[in-house]
Amino acid sequence: MGFIDADAHVIESPLTWEHIAEADRKHTPLLVTQTWGADVKSNEGRRSVEYWIMDNRTHAKDKNVGSDTTVESREMRDVEARLAHMDRLGIDVQVLYPTVFLRPALRTRDAELALIKSYNRWLASINAHAPKRMRWVAMPPLLSLDKARDELQFCKDHGACGIFMRGLEWDRNVADPYFYPLYEMASELDLAVCYHSGNNSITHHDFFTEDTTFTKFKLAVVGAFHSLVEKNVPGRFPDVRWGFVEISAQWVPYVCHDLRYRLLRLGRRIPDNLLKANHMYVACEVTDDIPYILKYAGEDALMLGTDYGHHDPSAEINAFTLIEKRDDVSPEARRKIVDANPRALYAL
């Protein structure tokens, strides 16, 4: 049995944008430091002073950073340092997700294409250091779907094991037929479609204040799961695997119960094991009531992530040590959560 970290992060740095094509240099993000004004506290209570300016939108760089990791490892300035830390934590594989792109960082098609291509090439260079241990989810050019096939093929060829999406994308529900070509590509390339806690709707994101992150980030992805099942999107793409990451799994019983009776009114029945039937996987947290969730999710759907690099309610650097101490979860269920299930989702 190995430990597969289904949700680890990179913290973007100027190194991330070194791969921007010469013709697209005008889109290079600015990294600025606050020198005056009211203090903004990080999630750890420190003063947050670094910000990205990307496509005329401003985003904190250091607000959700955990001090239980070094800058060299979380920003991938030293991949060997990251691997050494994984060894100490007993983690065999990490699946890497972005940080700045968890929110609507960009506004325009050209900026999106330029910056996600640079990000993907940065992740490809990280994967080259440890192809079997540093896997990652690719950023798709959602405003340039005509270019997505070639971009995703590059990512697949360089260690990507999934496609990154947020709960809302460009003011569209993820069950919108607009995304069907992307889901078809996921099927063809054998890449999981991974909805991470996040929101790429400027309208929805900016409506809520900074202290309502649960509503705009977490619930957006719960809603994505609900919409996909309600609209039978997995039925349209039966070979696609779907992941739901960093939103706990405590909501699974509620949503399964709601869908069962909502769809019955429409003359549709859902299978007893909704997640397994639709190739859906959910990252749980060590504080979840896992025995209760397993009654609805089954043993073949839950995974575990550390949220490596971040400091928020989902972050637990010692998640794998802690779950091994859970005596209310059978050894077989634990084995699936830490190894078999994420291995299946990401086709590792």
Quote the pLDDT of residue 209.
74
CA distance 118 to 172: 24
Beta strands in 132-201 (DSSP E): 134-138, 160-165, 168-169, 172-173, 192-196
Computed over every residue of the chain, the mean pLDDT equals 95
* pLDDT for 204 beyond 90: no
Contacts of 282 (CB under 8 A, 6+ apart): 243, 244, 245, 247, 249, 252, 275, 297, 301, 302, 303
Query: Residues of the chain with pLDDT > 90: what percent?
Result: 87
Contacts of 336 (CB under 8 A, 6+ apart): 299, 300, 302
- For the stretch 114-136, pLDDT in tens is 999 999 999 999 999 999 999 99
Length of the chain: 348
Average pLDDT over residues 9-15: 97
Quote the pLDDT of residue 1.
57
Quote the pLDDT of residue 313.
87
- For the stretch 89-102, pLDDT in tens is 999 999 999 999 99
Quote the pLDDT of residue 205.
87
Indicate the pairing of strand 47-48 with strand 50-54: unpaired
What global pTM score does this model have?
0.96
The residue ranges of every structural domain in the chain are 4-26+66-346
Quote the pLDDT of residue 196.
97
Nearest-CA neighbor of 251 among 167, 141, 155, 345?
167
Work out the pLDDT band at 260, boundaries 50, 70, 90.
Answer: very high
User: In CATH, what is the architecture of 4-26+66-346?
Assistant: Alpha-Beta Barrel (3.20)
Average pLDDT over residues 71-95: 97
- For the stretch 144-171, pLDDT in tens is 999 999 999 999 999 999 999 999 999 9
Quote the pLDDT of residue 285.
97
CA 324 distance to own-chain centroid: 24
Q: Which long-range contacts (CB under 8 A, 24 or more apart) does 15-20 make?
A: 15/75, 15/76, 15/77, 15/122, 16/118, 16/119, 16/122, 17/115, 17/118, 18/118, 18/122, 19/117, 19/118, 19/121, 19/122, 19/125, 20/114, 20/115, 20/117, 20/118
CA distance 309 to 14: 17
- For the stretch 271-284, pLDDT in tens is 889 999 999 999 99
